[in-house]
Amino acid sequence: MNPIRHFVAAALVTGASMAAFAQDVVVDTKQGEIPYVIDSRGVVARSGTGLCWRTGYWTPALAEQVKDTNGKPLACSCDPEVIAKEKCEAPKPAPAAKAAPQPVSNKVKLSADTLFDFDKATLRPEGKRKLDELAAQIKNINVEVILAVGHADRIGSDAYNQKLSERRAEAVKKYLVSKGVPMNRIYTEGKGEKMPVTGNKCDKIKERKALIACLQPDRRVEVEVIGTK
């Protein structure tokens, strides 16, 4: 499993959709370990809310050390709270120097949610249909990064639900790979029970069967595909 930065879902998405992206942050890949997920062009992958996706190598020091193609620390664009403001001032250009060319592309984002039965990491038939639709759309773009983030409801221990959410994300990855999606483009992460979408609407339900039914939306995997046309 590759630990990456979490995509915060504002609401449960019921099908595939497209959305605009924030301004690209381009990385010089010759700098060694890169603290953020990047695509084949060196562009930092962002979530639907504009957050940069961290890799397992991320540290505040590395985010400050690694620069974008304009010579600015990646932390300035991705994690400004961990770096001094003065370090993010634009460097003075050398005389007659030309700015590095920015990649030009038609950015595409697709997303879909799949739901799971209680205490299960097996895809439901309707979840497979959604992933089939997503896989069909993927064939029309140049895939750069696919992010699959698993979630669990609050019933059970934190440790158990963390493992369950990871297994759910891996189940989605395995299914997409079976549909011809490149395995090395898919990153998975489990968030356990930490990111419920049901809020407090189930708090007053005491009967276990009814509570399980109410918490169904929390048993999910959120999938985001980043690519270009």
**pLDDT score at 176:** 93
Count of CB atoms within 10 A of residue 69's CB? 16
SS3 (DSSP) at 193: coil
Backbone angles phi, psi at 68, to 5 degrees: -85, 180
Q: Has residue 12 got a pLDDT over 70?
A: no
Q: Is the pTM of the predicted complex or chain greater than 0.85?
A: no
Please give the average per-residue pLDDT across 40-47, as a whole number. Answer: 87
> Where do the domains of the chain lie, and which CATH numbers do they carry?
29-88 (no CATH), 107-228 (3.30.1330.60)
Q: Kindly report, residue by residue over 109-135, the tens digit of the pLDDT.
A: 555 668 888 999 999 888 899 899 888
Return d(Cα 71, Cα 110) in angstroms, integer: 31
**Residues ≥6 apart with Cβ < 8 Å to 72:** 88, 90, 91
